Amino acid sequence: MRGWVVEVAERDPERLKDVSGVSGEAPVFDVRLLRSLEWAAAHYVAPLAVVLAKATPPNLPGRIPADPTDALPSPPGLHPVKAVAAASGAGKRLPAIALVGPWRRLDWVAELAATLAGGGGAACGPAMAAGGAEGGRRAGK
């Protein structure tokens, strides 16, 4: 069974199932996004699991390995961006991937820049307006 841990509460351990593995190290949803998805599920009378599945990046592993040693995170040198860079350098094409993780750690940007410099890829990312509400006030003048 695949699911999402959306809450941690104190309950009788006899009634809880163990988490057998995880799809990744970084959370897929932050609190604000999770609350929005919960609202959408209630508003559109949809099961929360269906809404969460539609909001999850498409390349998360579908099955958790049965062998716990296979579920260990990859060493830092095998970041997905490095794999894309290596494949691009070898003239191979990889399927589109979604990288989920904390955007505050930008150690992977150099690898992405090298991949894009070769002209064989494209990157899409979130755009944030500098100044937040201040920018909106200037635009309204």
Tell me the pLDDT band of 128, cut-offs 50, 70 and 90: very low
- Residue 85 has a CB neighbour count (10 Å cut-off) of 23
Residue 36 has a pLDDT of: 93
CA dist 97 and 81 (Å) reads 9
Side-chain half-sphere of 69: how many Cα atoms within 13 Å? 0
Q: What is the mean pLDDT of residues 127-139?
A: 43
Task: Please report, rounded to a whole number, the percentage of residues in the chain having pLDDT higher than 70.
Answer: 43
Q: What's the pLDDT tens digit per position in 25-83? A: 677 888 899 999 999 999 999 999 899 988 887 666 555 555 544 444 444 555 666 67
Regarding pTM above 0.75, the answer is no
CA dist 118 and 108 (Å) reads 16
Domain ranges of the chain: 1-70, 74-122
